[in-house]
Amino acid sequence: MSEISNQNNNIFSEIKQVMIEARNNVASVVNVELLKAYWQIGRIIVEDEQNHQDRADYGKGLIKELSKELTKEFGRGFSRSNLQNMRNLYLAYPKSQTLSGKLSWSHYCELLSISDLSKRSFYEKEAINSKWSVRELKRQINTSLFERILLSEGKVNKETVLNLSKKGIELLNAEDVLKDPYVFEFLGISEDKPIMENDLEEALIEHIEKFLLELGRGFMFVGTQQRVTLNNTHYYVDMVFYNKILRSYILIELKTSKLMPEAVGQLNMYLNYYQSEINDEIDNPPIGIILCTDKDNVAAEYALGGLSNQIFASKYTLYIPDKQRLIKEVEAIIEEWHEEQ
């Protein structure tokens, strides 16, 4: 009886998988057709506006009238703001072939709010590559991921901006996993409230999915307070991850103060241990990241320089950074680069 029951369970699982794949395929096809339809509607609106350029208020009146008639005929989905987005979709993507069926209409509505073409292209590529939900895409835009990636690279110029917009984030080496700063606004902790390192660690564990999103593509959580034993003395790594793209363990030390040299030495010891005792043959050298509230760039350069292991220090913030300030920082560095050429 149990054998028949097990066989039935196997058949059920197989059929269930077929149905799930079929539904996903149907949803994908529907999404593609919806994007095509909205693009076509946008094209019709723009071309009609161009035929009535002599009337300045024609476009607003047209969209208002279309919204009323289309809603009466087809129901929801044709609000004035949605029709405006369809118009903007056509203007932003004059060739419908450049639209991706991997992104939904809601994804594109978020992307259309970005006027900078390089920036929009970056978020579009990353949304596809990292399979972001609409909520995740919105969060990454609000926390200025584009600017943070550029600033963390240390050298920003026109070429790096262009590469980032064309390809998204490429994980080729240790530096590619870094951001500066990391943003932990999802913890809901006040910036003014003192916090202990173990409290910060516990808060990150409670929000591990959001922390993984902030860390980026390829990260898998291994554990906290991972023990390292040397000569009968126990030490503990705050947080350990594994990046399946880089094939490297990522050891993270949390500091609720500015970067101190002794933290670098301790993390260097942990990396040596992982390289010798934990790594498999297929693994690349482990990577260490110290997350701190502040760092002096000169002191960090001396503390981190000359090490055989890959150790990096990045700041973290408990609130969403000022987007305009980050943009100005990027622009200032690009301008400085132009002057040096």
Range of the domain at 81: 2-111
Is position 196 within any domain?
yes
pLDDT at 303 over 80: no
pLDDT at 338 over 60: no
261 within 8 A of 306, measured Cβ to Cβ: no
Question: Between residues 143 and 163, which one has the greater pLDDT?
Answer: 143
Average pLDDT over every residue of 152-181: 75
Q: What is the pLDDT of residues 266-285, one digit of tens each?
A: 999 999 999 999 999 999 99
187 within 8 A of 203, measured Cβ to Cβ: yes
The alpha carbon of residue 319 and the mean position of all alpha carbons in its chain are separated, in whole angstroms, by 16
| Residue 178 confidence (pLDDT) | 87
Q: What is the pLDDT of residues 82-120, one digit of tens each?
A: 999 999 999 999 999 999 989 999 999 999 999 988 899
Question: Are 214 and 315 in a shared domain?
Answer: yes
Question: Are 315 and 189 in a shared domain?
Answer: yes
pLDDT at 169 over 90: no
Closest among 239, 252, 256, 251 to 197, alpha carbons compared: 256
Question: Are 7 and 89 in a shared domain?
Answer: yes
Is position 31 within any domain?
yes
Is position 12 within any domain?
yes
Question: Are 186 and 299 in a shared domain?
Answer: yes
When divided into structural domains, the chain yields a total of 2
Q: Within 10 Å of residue 64's Cβ, how many Cβ atoms?
A: 12
123 within 8 A of 114, measured Cβ to Cβ: yes
- How many helical (H) and strand (E) elements, i.e. helices and strands, does the chain have? 13, 6
Is position 83 within any domain?
yes
Question: Are 88 and 190 in a shared domain?
Answer: no
The β-bridge relationship of strands 233-243 and 248-254 is antiparallel
Question: Are 97 and 192 in a shared domain?
Answer: no
Is position 307 within any domain?
yes
Question: Are 92 and 222 in a shared domain?
Answer: no
| Residue 152 confidence (pLDDT) | 77
Q: What is the pTM of this model?
A: 0.77
Is position 89 within any domain?
yes
Q: What is the pLDDT of residues 57-82, one digit of tens each?
A: 666 788 889 999 999 998 888 999 99
Is position 50 within any domain?
yes
Percentage with pLDDT > 90 across the chain:
52
- Total residues belonging to the chain: 341
pLDDT at 53 over 70: no
Is position 244 within any domain?
yes
Question: Are 189 and 289 in a shared domain?
Answer: yes
| Residue 334 confidence (pLDDT) | 65
- Specify the CATH number for the domain of residue 291: 3.40.1350.10
Question: Between residues 86 and 337, which one has the greater pLDDT?
Answer: 86
